[in-house]
Amino acid sequence: MIFTALGTIAAAATKTALIMGSTANIRPRIVRHQISTDGTPTSDQAIKVNVSRATALGTSTAVTFGFTDPSDSGVTPVLTAGSNCSAEPTYSGSPVDVYVGNPRFTYVWREYDRDSHIILPATASNGVGYQMTQVGGAAGNLVVTAWTQQ
């Protein structure tokens, strides 16, 4: 089943809008994500958003998942999601995806192939976060939506 999670944070450097967390029981798979900003940009200077693996999830506001299939609405997801991180997650290694682009643009990545999903380890407090590393001309909020298969 696929759950959607929406995360936002005021556009600023090294701030995480959305953190997806795994648990010891499952290996969630991110199958799609969408990155954009919601304010009128102040300039055309590019934003940069890193999608990186985290070994600690930091502090964030819990996100209530959405469901692409209404029959999944009775299921309690095992994975977790947090928005608007007040304490940044601990990131490790190189980013698994990087978006650099004009703040007016919307970036959508999606995978068809099971081998191509971003896989989270079955380890508590591990996950993948969406961190703005360069604010550029962005105004308003960084808005990230992730579709995760559990």
Partner 1 sequence: MRQHRTRGFVEILTDKGVVELQTFTCCHCNTVHKQAVGEDLAMCIKCYKPVCARCHQHGRCIPFEKKLERIESRASILKAAGIGG
What is the contact surface with partner 1 in residues (CB under 8 A)? 24, 27, 51, 94-97, 101-102, 104-113, 115-119, 121-126
Nearer to partner 1, 72 or 90 (CB): 90
CB of 74 to partner 1, least distance (A): 29
Nearer to partner 1, 62 or 104 (CB): 104
CB of 58 to partner 1, least distance (A): 13
Nearer to partner 1, 75 or 104 (CB): 104
Are 130 and 49 in contact by the 8 Å Cβ rule? The answer is: yes
Give me the sheet containing 66-67, strands edge to edge.
66-67, 2-10, 141-149, 29-37, 118-119
* Per-residue tokens: 98: 């990087």
Cα angle 77, 78, 81 (rounded to 5 degrees) comes to 75
Nearer to partner 1, 61 or 123 (CB): 123
CB of 70 to partner 1, least distance (A): 26
* Per-residue tokens: 26: 């499952």
What are residue 2's DSSP bridge partners? 149
